[in-house]
Structure 1
Amino acid sequence: MASMKLIIHLLRRYISIAISLFQSLVLCLFDNFDYPILIKLADALLSLYFIAFCDLRPVTVDLNDGETTLHFWISGHRRINRPDLVMLHGYGGNSKWQFIHQVSDLSKSFNLFIPDLVFFGRSHSRNADRTIEFQARSVVGGLKRLGCEGGLAVYSISYGGFVAYRIAKMWPGMIEKLVIVSSGVGFTQQQKMTEMKKHGGDVSEILVPRKPRDLRVLVRLSMNTGIAFIDWVPDFILSQFITVMYETHRKELVELAKNLLEREEDAEFYALSQKTLIIWGDKDEVFPLEHGRRLHRHLPNSSLEILKDIGHGVNIEAPTTLNNLITSFVVGGS
């Protein structure tokens, strides 16, 4: 009897996967021939990978503000003997594409909660607020709707680090341990201006590319190793990626970036009570290593791990090392 129930459960699961993939393919091929077919197909296959191999399932929640919808990938079977880990992505696409190299390993050790931040992926809002505080409220609201009230571990990278830092301050009971990777938390206005001049002025336009050339610049800026591939990717594929990742909410994404760049963070630089692990690549050209050291000095309950010959995109350049550090810190109690 038990074996029959298991067979039925697996059958239902694989039928659900097949239906989900079929729907995505139909949308790609027949809904609109102007769609970027290749990237839509890759996105559908990536969803299949998350479902079939990482035991994740997509969930969309409407928040209590009546204006905001947040999309999550969460563990299909939440186990009591595993810690809950929230993963907050940066500006390079949505959560699926940013964490593709990490979710398989991390799903074996954690109950995962992976939101698309508002205006990324399938998360959206009618609210005109573009602040980090709004992103933080939205993430916390979504987590509470999913039954998460506290004791969470949070792993955040780049833009996601600003959001995680704000959550840790505004809702200290929500987060027990915090991992911040390559995030310029505490940047002064002068430091922001220095970085903008270094990268050619309007960083918001770099973060939200319009053309294949812009995307190539973003990749080269974000990574120190393994960047040769970007020279071999045809422009039409990069154009399709830009369409899928940025065009739907381009205006809002640019406004989010401008709000982040124009606000004065230094006056709000506060210590956190949570145990914090800071991880940085020593070749980071977006937020140079000195900013990681500075963050470490301001957080007395923190430790700093520096990865040699790694740039800003630690999640792409060194995912195995990053996963091991996260797991050791959260599960090992270091």
Structure 2
Amino acid sequence: MASMKLVQLFRRYLSIVATLFQTLISCFFNFPILIKIADSVLSLYFLIFCDLRPVTVDLDDGETTVHFWISGHRKISRPNLVMLHGYGGNSKWQFVHQVSHLSKSFNLFIPDLVFFGKSYSKNPDRSVEIQARSVVGGLKKLGCDGGKISIYSISYGGFVAYKMAEMWPEMVEKLVIVSSGVGFTQQQKTTEMKKHGGDCCSEILVPRNPMDLRRLINISMNTGLKFVDWVPDFVLSQFVTVMYEKNRQELLELAKNLLEREEEPQLSVITQKTLIVWGDKDKVFPLEHAYRLQRHLQSSRLEIIKEIGHAVNIEAPTTLNNLITSFVLSA
């Protein structure tokens, strides 16, 4: 009798343990704990090794909050450099290979563009202009209203940077544009998207599942991140959840505005000295566009990096860092 009770008690505890184990495994695979941990590690890296600190700025419009990483100890002897990311995640994930190097030469201001990372707005406007106004509004709140800034931008960030240079020429001194389709017509944008099997922007820029994310990475990369084929689906699913689910609708609307909006018949000519950097294997915005943009801007020069795709910041960060540093610091 006693042995039967002991067996029943053992089975009961075994059932409880099995249930707890199953719950933990379910949380591990379904809750984005791995990406949350990685994101926290990146924050510590920015804080400890790059002398950057997080700042959240509420703009005067009463609708918009912009999150920045900025240099913790700014020096007058260093130029101010604003870094604008593209569509593949927030500023931490896109610039992790660059901030340590660039923080040694510049006072850095690295915003999450609105609806990316921790930046948000109640404003229904989804244009590039509202992104530019939000970044500039945040910079002025952080003390950049009287001094000059240089901007390094990649992909979607390039559209924002170009608009900032156009609207605030007295503020923007130099511009670095990397792999950005500034000046593309609506037809050209649509054509490039359809080359990769996407009939609408959501299928390319705002992935819903691991297959979509793998396609985005493969389009963006030529040599880097090939190991993504070996990353388990549950890890990629967690990345999609963290980066895209919170503001998915807003991100879709931003992409739609960018890709379906017809540009002005003639792209405005900015006067700032501009460095254009491109990977010769870019499958998102082909290399011929880099030459076209260079011809359009008289005060520009073009640097082409061999065997590199769209994501120059990830595939060739050291080369890109050296180009940015030498260009911005040059007299």
TM-score (structure 1 length as normaliser): 0.89
1:166 to 142, 163, 167: 163
Counterpart amino acid of residue 107 in structure 2: N
Q: Does 1:61 align with 2:67?
A: no
Aligned equivalent of 1:91? 87
The alpha carbon displacement at 1:224 in A equals: 0.4
CA distance in 1: counterparts of 2:282 and 2:193, whole angstroms: 15
2:229 to 228, 231, 250: 231
Q: Does 1:52 align with 2:80?
A: no
CA distance in 2: counterparts of 1:320 and 1:35, whole angstroms: 34
Counterpart amino acid of residue 263 in structure 2: E
Aligned equivalent of 2:4? none
CA distance in 2: counterparts of 1:266 and 1:295, whole angstroms: 15
CA distance in 1: counterparts of 2:94 and 2:284, whole angstroms: 17
Which of 1 and 2 has greater Rg? 2
SS in 1 for 2:108: strand
SS in 2 for 1:114: strand
Aligned equivalent of 1:109? 105
SS in 1 for 2:265: helix
CA distance in 2: counterparts of 1:58 and 1:235, whole angstroms: 31
Aligned equivalent of 2:177? 180
Task: Compare 198-207 and 247-256 and name the one that shifted more.
Answer: 198-207
How many residue pairs get matched? 303
SS in 1 for 2:78: coil
SS in 2 for 1:267: coil
Cα deviation digits, residues 162-197 of structure 1 (max 9, x gap):
000000001111100000000000001221222122
RMSD: 1.3
Preserved CA contact (<8 Å) 1:180 1:279: yes
Cα deviation digits, residues 15-36 of structure 1 (max 9, x gap):
xxxxxxxxxxxxxx9xx98641
Cα deviation digits, residues 39-70 of structure 1 (max 9, x gap):
00010011000000000000000001100000
CA distance in 2: counterparts of 1:309 and 1:207, whole angstroms: 23
CA distance in 2: counterparts of 1:228 and 1:304, whole angstroms: 28
> What are the ranges of 5 or more consecutive residues in structure 2 without an aligned counterpart?
1-23
Counterpart amino acid of residue 178 in structure 2: V
Aligned equivalent of 1:265? 263
2:150 to 146, 150, 153: 153
Aligned equivalent of 2:17? none
Question: Quick one: percent identity of the two aligned structures?
Answer: 76
CA distance in 2: counterparts of 1:136 and 1:213, whole angstroms: 32
Aligned equivalent of 1:134? 130
Aligned equivalent of 2:277? 279
Counterpart amino acid of residue 291 in structure 1: H
1:289 to 261, 271, 287: 287
TM-score (structure 2 length as normaliser): 0.89
> What are the ranges of 5 or more consecutive residues in structure 1 without an aligned counterpart?
1-28
